[in-house]
Amino acid sequence: MANPVAIDKRTARTQFSRAAAAYDDVAVLQHEIAERLIQRLDYIVCEPKVILDVGCGTGRAIDALMKRYPKAKVIALDFSLPMLKKSAKRGRWLKRPACLCADMDHLPLAANSVDLVFSSSAFQWTSDVSAAFKEIQRVIKPHGLLMFSSFGPDTLKELREAWLQVDGLPHVHHFLDMHDYGDALVGAQFMDPVMDREDMTLTYESVERLLKDLKQAGVTNADKQRRKGLLGKERLQQLKAAYEMHRRDERLPLSYEVIYGHAWGAVQQRQEGAVMVSPESLRKS
């Protein structure tokens, strides 16, 4: 079982809040992954009444979910309020998503209240994926569907290797292995988990552009053990020199290991803890 990741949630929330305005302009890969995750619903028979989009960001997936399941109530959940305000505008005038500004590690929803939990490129920001899956198991109905994507350890590997040559310190987010996600699903008592992965690569002309896009997409290191402080010209030059070793065909690659998973809610679930709100009590945004 994977060990909890020491995520500084305040830092991560601040990063994404600052990125909200420009996020859709630079998050090309994240949008592509969300579209591919949506397409995977083609092969699964389900008619959800309540859908929870965990880590919804600006809500690019919400329009597709509403179109696919027009009778369903969609709940958008994100820990960044500026991101959530973008999601609140999704849908159409008479049917908007209900919005919750909350942490995926502590879902403010009643037990057995959601039919489909959808989450694209978000679980890498949980402090403990095992605990997060147990929370989802709590709120999902028996035989409800969890469909998600995240990132594996080969993500940003070129940047990680370049930084190690500069100072040997961790500057890149820690990503869990696909098998860690699978073990966490089993540990949370999800049924019939299915996991797979694919490699995707973006290319850049310069390290400066690469770093700028990562920052504007909120993809920065939020590990509590990270080195804090500004980059500085000297260290930037060292980083550029180290990264140049990866240049191919006049472009700098940036790798992503994309993990996909889905599983079904357990038939019997415990109902413990504080009283949470039901989806029906959420007013339209």
In this prediction, residue 285 carries a pLDDT of 44
Say yes or no to pLDDT of 4 above 80.
Answer: no
* Amino acid symbol at 80: S
Judged on CB neighbours under 10 Å (0-12, 13-18, 19+), 238 is middle
pLDDT (tens digit, 9 = 90+) per residue, 187-205? 999 999 999 999 999 999 9
Mean pLDDT on 23-48: 95
| Tally of CB atoms within 10 A around 22 | 15
Query: Over 70: is that where the pLDDT of 5 sits?
Result: no
How does the average pLDDT of the chain come out, rounded? 90
- Is pLDDT at 274 greater than 50 in this prediction? no
Cβ–Cβ < 8 Å for 251, 203? yes
For residue 170, is it within any domain? no
Question: Does 3 reside within a domain?
Answer: no
Does residue 169 lie within any of the structural domains?
no
Give the pLDDT of residue 8: 83
142 domain residue, yes or no: yes
> Which residues make beta-bridge pairs with 191?
264
Please say whether the beta carbons of 101 and 79 come within 8 A. Answer: yes
pLDDT digits (tens, 9 = 90+) for 7-23: 788 888 999 999 999 99
Radius of gyration for the alpha carbons in the chain, expressed in angstroms and rounded: 19
108 has pLDDT over 80: yes
168, part of any domain: no
Instruction: Indicate the pTM of the whole model.
Output: 0.89
What pLDDT was estimated at residue 94? 84
In a domain, 226, yes or no: no
Q: Is 53 helix (H, G, I), strand (E, B) or coil?
A: strand
Question: What is the four-CA torsion angle of 18, 24, 30, 31, rounded to 10 degrees?
Answer: 160
Question: Can you give the CATH number for the domain in which 181 is found?
Answer: 3.40.50.150
In terms of average pLDDT, the best of 78-82, 124-128, 281-285 is: 78-82
Predicted confidence band of residue 87 (pLDDT cuts 50, 70, 90): very high
Calpha distance 200→257 (Å, rounded): 6
Total of domains in the chain: 1
CA distances from 173 to 124, 126, 129, 153, 217 (A): 9, 12, 15, 9, 14
Domain span including residue 199? 9-156+175-204+257-268
What is the pLDDT, as a whole number, of residue 188? 97
Comparing C-alpha atoms, which of 266, 261, 265 is closest to residue 180? 261
pLDDT digits (tens, 9 = 90+) for 119-159: 999 999 998 999 999 999 999 999 999 999 999 999 999 99
List pLDDT tens digits, range 157-173: 999 999 999 987 778 88
Q: For residue 30, is it within any domain? A: yes
**Given this model, what pLDDT does residue 170 score?**
76
Residues in contact with 161: Cβ distance below 8 Å, sequence separation at least 6, in sequence order: 242, 246
Quick one: pLDDT at residue 114? 98
Give the residue among 271, 245, 247 at the shortest CA–CA distance from 112: 271
186 located within any domain: yes
